[in-house]
Structure 1
Amino acid sequence: MGKTQHQNLIRKLIPCVLYTLIPLAVLHYYRYISPRCSVPTADKRLESTATTDSITPLVQEQEAEVKNLSWWDYSEGHWVQTRLEPLYNCTSCEAIKLGQNCMLNGRSDTGYLYWQWQPKDTRCPPPVFDASLFLRIIRNKHLAFIGGSIARNQLESLICLLSTGSKPELVYKDSDEHKFRRWVFYEYNATIWSFWTQFFVEGIQYNQSKGINHNTLYLDTPNEKWASELDKIDIVVFSSGRWFAQKAIYYGEGNQLLGCNFPQENNCTDFNFFDAFRKAVRTSLKEVTKRFYKSDKAVVVANYTFAHFEGEWNEFATCPKTEPYKDGDAEMPYLENEMRKSAIEEVAMAVKDVKEMGGRLKIETLDVTKLTFLRRDAHPGPYMFPNPFANGIKEKVQNDCVHWCLPGPIDTWNAILLQLMKRWKDE
């Protein structure tokens, strides 16, 4: 080939090379600046399981060991790293509240997605979510989440997880779409509801604009919003607790004044919010028990969950950690321990009542307090809003160190809920 021909060939090849490299460069750019929202195929998930964690053989081995156990205890354990991708992502599920859609809002570190809960009893397999199994169990049933924003957080996680097995249709929402909603999975005739009743019982919430600086709670009266629909519900998940730490005045049976949790300001009898929470849980469980103790319905009380503020709510880096606590790094605070204890004891009393009445109603605790205590890394933080640092680092920025990014550790709650439901089905 002559020199001239060689030069002509190079001139022809240069545009071809550029046309090939430019798209690759753009793809590389977007891969690292865009939210990581890719959904792995089933083959990739299986490959990841087999080559990095060997979870499938482990689960099979552990299930064989514990086949004679009545229940696996998921309340104690630790988080182990995994390469398993989440079942959904920041664009594949429309149910995620924007404030918990951390990846979509610009959170670039994704390490919080790759942890799996390992129970303390090593014979117990890690809880794994199976959308088709969950949907088969709730076929022709109504499941309701009753509580505040944490209940809503878990509800949205469940809708996203189930969406990988069947498409839901949002058939009802109130004027505030994140408080009262109802989805139907028509393929299974399964309905999932949300009821925003953060105290479980009747009450009047504080309203600064109206000069009301405390809550007023009637601890012996179930909230009518959920109690009036109870006949239609087959599985109830109660989830609340943090709201009870606010200033409140409490009334008991016959609207008798019990006291308040800020006596120094209100000159009333001291009535601490631990007891108020316990009484509200008791009232709710009694309402369900007296109406359905002979039925095959089920009630779950999700335990108190943690916030991880390391400063003021509006300071930069208020919940900045990117890895969970390890065992021994920190002790669970008194408040969370007491709230957890209250719920567990009230559930145990309700179970005893049903047994003494010869009933079949199932009542369980979804004990996720330790599980959430360790996950200091998975709150939205400043990514409760889209691109909070688009114009640079700010000294003051609002942080959410209470709720949980979706996908995130709250998905594990629903995996454990599935284990409860599987046991009910087997029994």
Structure 2
Amino acid sequence: MAFIGDSIARNQMESLLCLLSTAETPKAVYKDADNRFTTWEFPKHNFTLMAFWSQFLVASTERLDNGSATGGFDVHLDRIDTSWSKKLPSINYAIFSSAHWFFRQSYLYEGGNLIGCFSCQVPNMTDLRPSFAIKKAFRAAFKEINNCKNCRKIFTLLRTYSPSHFENGAWNTGGRCNRTRPIERGEVNEGGSDLQYRKIQAEEIEIAKSDGEESGNIFGILDVTEIMSMRPDGHPGVHWGNRKGYSDCIHWCLPGPIDTWNELLLEMIKRQSTLSSEAEAQL
């Protein structure tokens, strides 16, 4: 099972790792220096759990200015990130999650040509919104799975957009998340962009389902956007070891609300296993 995406994908993997550790102590097989690529094995259960860092899912490089990082990225929307795609033949379950990195300054390419950018403020450059890039990236990722010739049937889930809860500023302008209780559904800003990103992702999973019928790949959606929008109390906030004073209102506490994602994940796997067994019995 592989979690593919940004640091929130790793956040979910770590939650699942803790939950499964109650049944068997896992063996750490690999971890890179930045904790972005990790592999754990559960030998008694013949199960391997992995996390692959791929913040855009597609190929990207950070822009440099005189050798220093600028914070901007060149993102190739039609070129897949091989750091995870080369591992597809060994994967049975793939959980994709990505979105927050698309809010950074991005120069977007297709066919090797610059087609536009986001937050770049370049004269005569087409301003393309994050929603455009998110749609293109997930479509490319799922196309890669359906076109994989050496892969077994892969059960692929898209974990929908995970809301952040910064208040009174952004992450670098004094934003905080100090709430101590969940909020009611009526308190959620339903007119915001969170549900727009969730809608885009849901549309892409439906396209992937249709395209995957011949290959036998199974696609599903792990829909967490609405329920997590009501948990502004579930983030680490200032309690995450950042000496610069920033609050983390994007990731989720362990243990905490993110464990619910994995409870839903395990239930979806059980249901799919039952459906597959019933289908085979009818053959």
Which aligned pairs between 1:264-275 and structure 2 lie closer than 5 A? Answer: 264-265=121-122, 267-275=124-132
Following superposition, the deviation at residue 283 of structure 1 comes to 0.2
Bigger Rg over Cα: 1
Give the aligned residue type for 1:271: L
> Residue in 1 aligned with 2:53?
196
The match for 1:304 among 150, 153, 161 is 161
Following superposition, the deviation at residue 212 of structure 1 comes to 3.0
> Residue in 2 aligned with 1:248?
106
CA–CA distance in structure 2, aligned partners of residues 266 and 205 of structure 1: 21
Taking a change above 3 Å as real, the CA distance of residues 331 and 194 of structure 1, as seen in their structure-2 partners, is same
Which aligned pairs between 1:19-58 and structure 2 lie closer than 5 A? Answer: none
CA–CA distance in structure 1, aligned partners of residues 64 and 192 of structure 2: 29
CA–CA distance in structure 1, aligned partners of residues 260 and 41 of structure 2: 22
3-state SS of paired residue (1:328) = helix
Q: Contact conserved, 1:303 with 1:340, CA < 8 A, in 2?
A: yes
CA–CA distance in structure 2, aligned partners of residues 249 and 315 of structure 1: 24
Q: Contact conserved, 1:292 with 1:361, CA < 8 A, in 2?
A: no
RMSD of aligned alpha carbons: 2.1
CA–CA distance in structure 2, aligned partners of residues 199 and 422 of structure 1: 29
3-state SS of paired residue (1:214) = strand
**What fraction of aligned residue pairs are identical, expressed as a percent?**
38
**Structure 1: which 5+ runs fail to align?**
1-142, 389-395
> Residue in 1 aligned with 2:262?
414
Taking a change above 3 Å as real, the CA distance of residues 294 and 404 of structure 1, as seen in their structure-2 partners, is closer
Following superposition, the deviation at residue 399 of structure 1 comes to 1.0
Following superposition, the deviation at residue 307 of structure 1 comes to 0.9
**Structure 2: which 5+ runs fail to align?**
276-283
Q: Contact conserved, 2:139 with 2:204, CA < 8 A, in 1?
A: yes
CA–CA distance in structure 1, aligned partners of residues 202 and 233 of structure 2: 26
Name whichever structure is richer in helix by fraction.
1
Following superposition, the deviation at residue 206 of structure 1 comes to 4.6
Q: Contact conserved, 1:315 with 1:397, CA < 8 A, in 2?
A: no
CA–CA distance in structure 2, aligned partners of residues 223 and 203 of structure 1: 8
> Residue in 2 aligned with 1:287?
144
Name whichever structure is richer in strand by fraction.
2
Following superposition, the deviation at residue 397 of structure 1 comes to 3.2
Q: Contact conserved, 1:245 with 1:273, CA < 8 A, in 2?
A: yes
Q: Contact conserved, 2:188 with 2:229, CA < 8 A, in 1?
A: no
Taking a change above 3 Å as real, the CA distance of residues 167 and 323 of structure 1, as seen in their structure-2 partners, is same
Following superposition, the deviation at residue 211 of structure 1 comes to 4.9
Following superposition, the deviation at residue 258 of structure 1 comes to 1.6
> Residue in 1 aligned with 2:206?
348
Following superposition, the deviation at residue 234 of structure 1 comes to 1.0
Q: Contact conserved, 2:118 with 2:130, CA < 8 A, in 1?
A: yes
Following superposition, the deviation at residue 207 of structure 1 comes to 5.5
3-state SS of paired residue (1:382) = coil
Q: Contact conserved, 2:90 with 2:151, CA < 8 A, in 1?
A: no
CA–CA distance in structure 1, aligned partners of residues 220 and 97 of structure 2: 12
Q: Contact conserved, 2:163 with 2:228, CA < 8 A, in 1?
A: yes
> Residue in 1 aligned with 2:247?
399
CA–CA distance in structure 2, aligned partners of residues 261 and 175 of structure 1: 30
> Residue in 2 aligned with 1:220?
78
Q: Contact conserved, 2:92 with 2:152, CA < 8 A, in 1?
A: no
Which aligned pairs between 1:50-129 and structure 2 lie closer than 5 A? Answer: none
